[in-house]
Amino acid sequence: MEQQQLKIYNGKIITPAKIINGGTVLVRDGIIIAVNEGDIDAPGATLIDAGGKYISPGFIDIHIHGGGGHDFMDNTVEAFLAIAGIHAKHGTTAMSPTTLTSSKEDLLETLRTYELADEHNINGSQFIGMHLEGPYFAVNQCGAQDPRYIRDPDPEEYKEIIAGTPVIKRWSAAPELKGAIEFGRYVTSKGILAAIAHTDAIYEEALEAFENGYTLATHLYSGMLGVTRRKAFRYAGVVEAAYLIDGMDVEIIADGIHLPPPLLKLVYKIKGAKRTALITDAMRAAGMPPGESVLGSLKNGLKVIVEDGVAKLRDRSAFAGSVATADCLVRNMIKMADVPLLEAVQMATLTPAAIMKVANKKGSIGAGKDADIVIFDEDINVSTTIVKGKVIYER
């Protein structure tokens, strides 16, 4: 069979170490086979002229719920594929579909739907495994998660869920709950990333959690304690634990609203680009006009209002979700947090790839890597998105 070649040229290639001006990337059958500072002779290859724009690794969103009017917990193949398609237009080439706290039955249905959708996902961001957000959370930190379904880890339940499917790659939970340390050890033993989320844990509990497999802080600052008092005594929370534990990775919703610029700067200053992943945490209203929306499934989700660039509870007492897209995150880190382009891109590409243990294939431009590539201008406006060597979006 004749091999299909794609040549992307006349661009500024973003690599982990530097930017290659006037560079060329050569792709064969979905894999990058060469990266060069000048031209590469490739007779018969399909040509893409980057026009002097940046040629970047595709963005990897490891925490995302929906977009374009759809949520993964709608539990339809159409919803999965639509979300993958809408976010590809904003440069996301790989994503971890994420659940919300729900009944066990709904959760199992979402996992089955993921498997069906993954077989048909040829025109959008690639799925790299499910992220289960809940239901093992602290009720006090539920945020917009449905408190009806919040519960302590149940070994019989989570072992059955994990045994039933290979697609779970991450599970977020509150480590101070009864049985949560054993849960962390178990999921880690199965190759699943345990993450701290929606938690009342203090530093000492977070440290114990880290030592038992919880190596990621889910949406840092959101759904967790900072410095707190218990009676007369002051305690550090998970926020401080994430800073103090050098090996703890963090993810942040860099929409400029969940975390304002000073906090974006602080996270970057302390954790750096290698330990910080940018996430959208986007709900169904991402890519849609402001107004009323639903967080979670249409069947039993939470009604919310989208305004000021964020989803809020209807009484406007708290945020209820993000409507960000990945290009927005990178742009914000550059413009709001003064992060250099190379590191801002790393936070949306190589760092999340490393956290999800797919950096051998994704997250950077180099020979042997998947041809997941985004072309954008100085303002991070995406003009072309390529997934596994296939042009998914072109403006």
The residues annotated as belonging to the active site are 281
C-alpha 358/C-alpha 187 separation (Å) is 18
Say which DSSP state 367 is in.
T
Is-cis flag, bond preceding 135, omega within 30? yes
Q: Which residues, 6 or more positions from 84, have their beta carbon under 8 angstroms from its beta carbon?
A: 95, 117, 121, 123, 124, 125, 126, 127
C-alpha 316/C-alpha 322 separation (Å) is 14
- Residue 80's alpha-carbon distances to 163, 167, 311, 385, in angstroms, are 23, 14, 21, 18
Q: Look up residue 10 and give its amino acid.
A: N
In terms of Cα–Cα distance, which of 50, 58, 59, 162 is closest to 104?
A: 162
In terms of Cα–Cα distance, which of 362, 353, 332 is closest to 344?
A: 332
Specify whether the CB–CB gap between 134 and 150 falls below 8 A.
yes
Specify whether the CB–CB gap between 253 and 222 falls below 8 A.
yes
What is the Cβ-side half-sphere exposure of residue 333, based on CA atoms within 13 angstroms?
30
Say which DSSP state 220 is in.
T
265-272, long-range: CB < 8 A, 24+ apart: 265/336, 265/337, 265/338, 267/220, 268/333, 268/337, 268/339, 268/343, 270/243, 271/242, 271/243, 272/343
Say which DSSP state 22 is in.
E
Straight-line distance from the first to the last Cα atom of the chain, in angstroms, rounded to the nearest whole number = 31
Torsional sign, CA 194, 200, 203, 208: negative
What is the Cβ-side half-sphere exposure of residue 122, based on CA atoms within 13 angstroms?
2
3-state secondary structure of 346: helix
